[in-house]
Each structure stands twice: as structure tokens, then as C-alpha cells.
A and B are shown apart, each in its own frame.
Chain A
Amino acid sequence: MKCPICGREAAPELCRYHAEAKEKIQAAYSLWMKAYGNIEWKDFLDNVKRNPQTGQWVKEIAELLRG
């Protein structure tokens, strides 16, 4: 099984890097919710993608999750 983002070995659906990025982005959503009071999941993903501080693998996973 290959990672749909980078083609590395995936276990089971993402490679270890993008799996780690996915965990981090999911954990960060609750912090953003708290910071803004409320934010839609899709708006959150768009904001994360646009932010210059966001890591490359997080941007890629945000793109995938945004669909």
C-alpha cells in the first residue's frame, strides 16, 4: 500500500510522516476552536493551508482532507 500523497510505504493508509501530520492537525483543531470560539472544519483546513508557518506535510494532508 502506498501513501496517496507521497507514494511512500503506507501503514495502513498513509505513510508515517503524513500519518503524524494528520494526528497533529486533528489535535490542533480543538485548539483553534477554543481560540476563535468556533470555526468550521473546512475553514480551519483552509486557514492552516494558507498559513506560512504550517509544515509541508500538514499542508499536504490539509489539502487531502479538504477534498
Chain B
Amino acid sequence: MSSGYTLVICEKPDAARRVSDALSEGESRSERVEGTTVFRFNRKGEEFVVCAAQGHLYEVSDPARERTVYPVFDVEWYSSDLVDEDSASAARRILAIRKLASGASKFVNACDFDVEGETIGYNLLRYACGEKEKSAFRATFSALTEEDLVKAFDDLKPQEELGLARAGRARHAIDFVWGVNLSRALSQSALGSGHRYRTVSVGRVQGPTLGFLVEREREIRTFVPVPYWKASGAFERDGMKLTAGYARDRIETKQTAEKIRGECVGREAVAAAVRRNTVQIGPPVPFNIGDLQKEAYRAFGYTPSRTLQIAEGLYLGAFISYPRTGSQRLPPSINYRSIIRGLGKVPEYSAHAAELLKGEPKPAQGAKSDAAHPAIHPTGEKPKHPLEVSELAVFDLVVRRFLAAFGPSARRELVEATIVVGEHQFRLAGGRTVFPGWMKYYGRYAGYRDVEVPLVSEGERFKVIGVALEEKFEQRSPRYNPSSLLEKMEKEGIGTKATRADIIATLVGRGYVSGENMEVTDLGLSVVETMAEYVPSIISTELTREMERKLEAVEGRSGSEAELLRETVRSIVRQLAELSANEEAVGREIDSAQTASVAKSFVLGKCPVCKTGDLRIIRSKATKKRFVGCFNYSNGCRASAPLPQKGALRTASKPCERCSWPVVYVAGRHPWRLCVNPNCPGRRKP
């Protein structure tokens, strides 16, 4: 081997800094190469240079990159700046890595150890370093702590042995040809219907995911609530009053409900059965990324993509382990005692840590595992600088979940009493925690509340002093939220732990779904319904799931990526043929939904002045500025108002509480809310 340094490629600049700090024991020096920062140091007599990518620096694309051309099957990897003009920094980074590669004699891929990280590293080694992907070494670690990094670099593995890259590259290629061909075909169909070009996008996982939302949306919009009644009895004995619900949760008719009341009021009731039993509730299993995203949504309302972003920040700060993991298991090799001891230095956790260290810590383990990484866990490193509120929240959740996994089972006493009045039964139910066990460590996230039940003994007699009847209506199914949609995708086996959150965000970005309550727009409805009618395979969950299985087989080296790519091409050709046969009908339906959707986006709401026209966003022909005006102008309504000239506008679901004019959200670096009425009494005086 010729003399030269070892070039280490990390996935992100923060990771590069941590790697160099850990390996150089703080003796590294930073320098600038082509405007990017790299680190240079010596370790055990060997010179190292550590550089970083910034996510994917190469992307799959077609040579023509012409949005009207399809089918496209001849795809290649290009540097990101050629695919996306906004990625100029990618070119600089590639140039820096290419320059550094010329002086290197050994290469180490130290990107995140998963499909995406492997693909990023592989592409840089192949294209920027000059086909070093096979001779390079791989550093694998699950946390950016000094201990983990030193261990990883002392135990470098040949790159080829650990190749997830083939699967990653195949996934990117499949997703590209799938998305680009069908999206271009759909957009062209809509264009053929006579309106201007607008992109209609569908993706391999996006289609079925939108399908779940549409199915639920139809259920909600065609829901007719049916009435029923609930009854609860009021009982009294020696001045003690208690209330118990009727044993049947749902009384179908008003007549039956009134009959129950008539047959109970004033009669004697007997406590017939009082059952108390204690149940054990085992500790929760450690977090994988899906569980963390769901729990963060439940606890803080964070969307899955936000949680992932925060967790990645905590990982880069070395506070938690690698978050994109499917594992719910913590192997002993992470050194439980050392992590718990580290957490003991943080005042909030010191008492819990001391308690757990008294025994031999052994965590609860979940069923899911991941060959690459353990479950998400704290590294035991104390944050050296104050964390942001959201970072602190997710960090606290991860720490408490980790500690809870080591806790003993909790015990809860459940009480159920039945009170009988003639033929009718009423029930009292409650429960309380008698031994908190792991709940003490999990704190407020444990989510069990005590509901005390009055002390009632079997055979005790009461007087029925009243029966309240309450008219209720069936509740419609709730819309999916980002967390429940993620759960549905997991359950259906579509997407990956790394991509699901982004797919959900894309559906919002494409205008198929609006807001956090995930209401499907007319455009989203139309895309799914049209596909269901003419090209059902585009939204087929089964087809997507099957593709995921085959991609996993490629990852596990039991499948061939070349065969999978051929199969994808055959499938797309079939779909394009189906689309082509129905091009006119598909185009007409999508174009009409697009037009309606664009028109609707300009309507802010009813005019509060004339009460009949719509207030719309209008662009002045003279000044080219946008403003709000009533469309009832020709009938004399002069309601109008200025609008901010920058930032996308989204109408709030409710008008202003003070003046009933529409409210808009103005997008930008600092999004803000605005009542469009310039004379709104709620506006602050200058």
C-alpha cells in the first residue's frame, strides 16, 4: 500500500467532528478544503483525515431530466447539484472529497450504519474517490460516544462484507422509476385535458398511504350518526351517595331507556358482587423509532418527522444512540450499568439510577430486532449545554423509557361492583396503583390514573334516588393523525422506518392532505379514486408490501436487485399501458380536481360585509400585488383588505373571533397568523 493518509467519510459534519474528537483525543486540527471543513490528526502513528457528506450527495435521475418524457428506465446516479439546482453545496463537498481522495491510501466509510448511510458512503467511495467502494473499510457504531467510536475504528470491517448499499441503491432506483414514470404520465394526462401543466405526483409508498387516508375520509364524510341512550343510577344509603353506570353501555331506543328509569327509581338496590383483583403490568419495552414517534406524538403532539429530526440531533450530540432502528432490544454489550451510572449524574434521574444500580440491571426486551442497531437508548452522557425545549422533551422521554425498561412490574388493584335493581344491573369500576414499579421511572408518560371506587360490600342495600338518561350519538371514526398513520403503515408493512415520516410530510406538501388533522383534499380524493378505477395497482398495498419484502431480501442478500429492477420495469410498463388506455378519462378527472382545488385555495371564506360573496385572494393587474376582495364586487360589495406580499397563505379553519373576517397563516421562516381585516379590534395599535 502506498503511503498516504486514511480518509474517513462521515454522513454529517457534526458526526465528522465527533469522530475526529474521539479518535484524536482532542488533538485534531480543522482545515478548509473547497470551502468545507475537514479534520486532520494522527492516531497510533497513522494520519487520518475526516470529511463529511451532507446526506445524499448523489441522486438517481434520468439523463434528459425532461418532465414531459416518459417512459424512463435508463437511470443513473448524478451528483445532487446536477439534479437539483439548489444543491450547489453538494458540488463543493464532492470536489473536496475528490481532492482528499487523491492523497489517501486507505478509505473508511463511517456513515450511519443502515441502508441510507451505506448508500451515501458507497456512492462517495465509488464516484468521488474513484471506485474505492470494494477496497474500503467500514466503521460500524450505534452511538457517537468516544467509547463506541474508538471500538468501531479498532475493529474496522471490509466494506463489501457489510453491503446494505446494493439494497439502498436498488430502493432509490425503483422509487425513482416508479415515481417519475407514473407522475409524468398522470401530469401529461391532465395536461391533455386542456389546462396548463401541473405536477401530479404518485409514489410507490405514497399511493397506498394516500389510499388509507381516502378510505377513512369517505367513511367520515358519509357518516350518519345514530342515536342511543346511556343511563346512570344515583344510589343512597345512610347519607352516602354514589353513582353507577347502567351495565349495558348502549340502550338502543328511547322507549327502553325510559322503561329502565321507570322500573328502577324509588326501588331498592343490592350490591350483588364486588370483585377486587390485582394485576401485574410489565415494564414497557425499549423504543424503536416507530414507538418513539408514536409516544412523542401522544406526549407532546410532535409529528413523526419532527421527532425523527430531534432524535437525530440528540444522536449527533452523542446523547442518545442511533435513532433509525427497528429494534426493541437492548443487548448487554451496550453496558447497562455504565449508562445508568452516567444518567445518575443528572439530578432528575439520580435517585432512579441509584435505585436500579442496587441490583443487577436487566431490561424488558421487545419482540422486534434489528441486526444493525440496538433499541434507542441514552448514551449516559450528560448534556454539556442547555438543550432546546423540544430536545429536552424527547431526551427525557428516551431516558425515562430506558430506565422504565429496567423497572419491576407495577401492580394495580382493579375493583368492580355490580348493583342490582330487579332485572337491571349497574356497574361501578375503578382502579389504583398499589405498587408503581417501572411507572415511577417512566413518570408522567406512564399514563395510568387512579379511579377510586366507594367502599361497597356485597349484600349492602341502597335506595335508587334517580336514573339519569343521556341521549348520545355514535361517534364517527377519527381521522388519522401523523402518529396513527405511521402505525397503520407499519402494520401494513409499507415504507421503512427511515422513510415513513417523510412520506407523510410529502402528502401534505403535495396538497393531497391538509393540516395536522390530515383531512384529504379534493385533489387527494380524486387521485386515489381515479387510480382505483383505472390503474388500481398504483394504490395497491399488496403490491407495495411485496416490493418491500423483496427489497428486504436484497438487503439480506437472498434476493437479486437486478431481477427486482426488471420486475419493477415490467410492472410500470403494465401500469403505463393501463393509464394510456384510459388517458382521456384519467386526465379529465384529475384536471377537474386540480382546477377545483386551485380555485378553492384562493377562497378565504364568506364575506362578513355583504354575507353572500366569497372573499378571495386577487392579484392586481396594475400593481401585481395580492389583496383580499369580495367577489360580489359587481353587486356593490366593496370589502377589501391588503395582504402580506411574501409567504404562502393558508386559510385557518375558523374565522376571527372578534370580527368574523377570515384568518390566514403566513408561511415563512417565522410563520404567523393574521386576521385579514385591517380594522379588526384584535389588532395591536401601532
Contacts and interface: CB of A to CB of B under 8 A. Distances in A.
B223 A58 contact: yes
Interface size on B, as a range, is 20 to 34
Nearest to B223: A55
A3 B227 CA distance: 30
SS class, residues of chain A in contact with chain B: helix
Nearest to A47: B227
A15 to B, nearest CB: 10
A24 B254 contact: no
Nearest to A39: B227
A16 B529 CA distance: 10
Nearest to A19: B222
Contacts of B253: 34-37
Contact of B254 (A9, A37, A48, A54): A37
A55 B221 contact: yes
Contact of A20 (B218, B227, B475, B589): B218
B590 to A, nearest CB: 12
Contacts of A32: 226-227
B474 interface: yes
Counting contact residues on chain A (CB < 8 A from B), the size range is 20 to 34
Contacts of A24: 222-224
A56 B224 CA distance: 10
A17 interface: yes
B252 interface: yes
Contact of A25 (B224, B255, B529, B596): B224
B473 interface: yes
Interface string A23-46: 011011001101111000000000
Given A56-B221, A58-B222, A35 B227 contact: yes
A16 B589 CA distance: 13
A17 B218 contact: yes
B225 interface: yes
A21 interface: yes
B243 to A, nearest CB: 25
Given A53-B475, A53-B476, A35 B252 contact: yes
A55 B220 contact: yes
B476 A55 contact: yes
Nearest to B593: A8
B254 A20 contact: no
A34 B254 CA distance: 9
A20 B222 CA distance: 7
A53 B252 contact: no
Given A37-B255, A53-B473, A55-B476, A31 B226 contact: yes
B127 interface: no
Interface of A: 7-9, 16-17, 20-21, 24-25, 27-28, 31-32, 34-37, 48, 51, 53-58
16 contacts: A7-B596, A17-B222, A20-B222, A21-B221, A27-B224, A34-B253, A35-B226, A36-B227, A37-B254, A48-B225, A55-B221, A55-B223, A55-B224, A56-B221, A57-B222, A58-B224
Interface of B: 218, 220-228, 252-255, 473-476, 529, 589, 592, 596
Given A35-B228, A55-B476, 19 more contacts: A16-B529, A17-B221, A20-B222, A21-B221, A24-B223, A35-B253, A35-B254, A36-B253, A36-B254, A51-B473, A53-B473, A53-B475, A54-B225, A55-B221, A57-B221, A57-B222, A58-B221, A58-B222, A58-B223
5 residue pairs, one from A and one from B, having the closest CB atoms: A28-B224, A53-B225, A55-B221, A55-B223, A57-B221
